Structure 1
Amino acid sequence: MTPGPEAEAVLPPALLRAQREYLQHLAVERGLAANTMAAYRRDIGRYLAFLAAAGVKAPAEIGRKQVTDFAQVISTGSDGGSPLSVRSAARCIVAVRGMHKFWALEGIAAADPASEVHPPMPGRRLPKAISVPEVIRILEASGSDSPTGLRDRALLEFLYSTGARISEAIGLDVDDVLGSSATETGPAVVRLFGKGSKERVVPLGSYGARAVEAYLVRGRPLLSGKGKPTPALFLNARGGRLSRQSAWTILKAAAEKAQIGKAVSPHTLRHSFATHLLEGGADVRVVQELLGHASVTTTQVYTLVTADTLREVYAAAHPRALG
């Protein structure tokens, strides 16, 4: 991949200092997750490289025209970087707006030239969910009695049972699973750490609990003996913490074995978890808590999916739905 324009840019000292102050604010005061920080650093780096190439040396020299010009070039790639989709361009402009607002509040710049530059509005894209029978086919196609097979089944059962992000699942330690034994009273629960290291506790259903228990008893001890001691729950074949890419590979293999004729990712299981809960009558705010969404607005997009299902059922069943 060709490096973007920010990769080789040498920023003027004033821009570099202002950039570092904002990134430090995001990391320390707002506590953004590592992946989110990487996206901010990349977007802001491209913006500042664009400004430096235009001869801008300090935040005080930036006007609205530079911000709007940048919004145009990231869509076309005329700055030497990759053209961004509407959604990615919107994310980039949000990062730029946040930085300018911070600079104005901190007195780094006298004004905020980005306050009236709005990000492009992406079309509303509904989450992609698969049906309950398709999920069951994937889960039943996963795993075997080998240590890695037990891990694979436990991982996929865990993802669908909890709605966890893949980063949350692979970041789990053994001690984060509380009451995983199926003999205990009530459902097991698990402690997840979401974006910004925000902690939440969610239930782990009986199928997920049994799969995790089987892996802990018959799979993980054999895997852990192959590497250095680690508290990680899900281990790779060498005894280290399972990677995100390996988790994708595990799900892809199970989906192919189950002959699911559509693209399936770990996030598909998260979308399906939310959609199936709402279709089963769960309150949207409960689903919000389970998913770890900061705002219920983010969760409400799933209600559009279930509304489509309701319309289909209504059209097929009501005697005067269609004329």
Structure 2
Amino acid sequence: MKVMQLLPELNSGGVERGTLEIAQALCQAGHQSVVVSNGGRLVAQLTAEGSQHIELPIHKKALSSLWQIKPLRQCILAEQPDIIHVRSRVPAWLTHFALKGLTAAQRPHLVSTVHGFYSINRYSAIMTRAEKVIAVSDSVVDYIQHNYPNCPTEDIVRIYRGIDPSAFPFAYRPTEAWLQQVYQAFPALQNKFLICLPGRITRLKGHETLIQLVQNLAQHYPQLHAVIVGGAVAKKQAYLDELKQRVAQQGLHDKITFVGHRSDIREWLALSDVVLSLSTQAETFGRTALEALSVGTPVIGWQRGGVAEILSQCYPAGLVAIDDLAALQTCLEQHIEQPAVMHPVDQFSLASMCHETLSLYQALVKP
């Protein structure tokens, strides 16, 4: 079986990671894997793991991208994949027009993955016009059914994203060298009850709620300290400055630490006593919450989106009614006063995600 996955670029992010994971699973199972994108720093890993990469500029939301229809059609004809799997809207539209020029015999099966709660319009509808539409959570299934009723229910396949438990092993502890380095860089973190808010700096991640939470609890729990793990891109720098200013104004500079963008997220999740998920909008899956639970750190989060699905199955004690700050505060107080007993997570595995995806491909290819 030959599978061609299309996405804008291969730099970083959940879509990119999922593409590499499926590509590796295909190669390990003896299939052929081709990925088409504008390239990026993950290409080296992709090819090292056995896939072929074809570079095409299919990443721009611009009319100039229409020039890529013919090269993409030629690429499809040359490679003759059994399956094309589109993972983003621009590549999906380009594939739609590229396939129009092919005969029925030349046309591969078409699969899409809806990774996000896209804006509801004709442009986004292309993601629901494949033979099989993968939804990464039940929340995404509901989103498709509610907003795109023309997508037949039987064509929607819920396949949860997954993580590799060996990459986030239960009861994982950072090395002494790592701890020493961190405590040297951030001495305020030592001997504290650490609550962690991971994720990029953006108004959607709930940083204001975290600041309010720390302000409410600081006096009663002097050992409480919040860590914000995530950086700000250039256009979000003003918001980061605003947050830091607010922390200073509230006199919380010794209670909240910004550690910036980090590549050692596993260590930070394991070091923390509680991880928070406070996004102001529903997340389609909530991978970081799952990674925290996998290493044995309790997660407290709003009861919405993919995070709620993960918590309801793996750690219901962490579910809090949406935007109920008092309930959030009570839940955190309980965790400070009585540390949670955690158990290994055996749901949402990478192996299951890969198996279900490859099984879907094979079901389509079977005559």
Question: What interval of TM-score do these two structures reach, taking the shorter chain for normalisation?
Answer: 0.3 to 0.5
Structure with the largest fraction of helix = 1
TM-score (normalised: structure 1): 0.36
TM-score (normalised: structure 2): 0.32
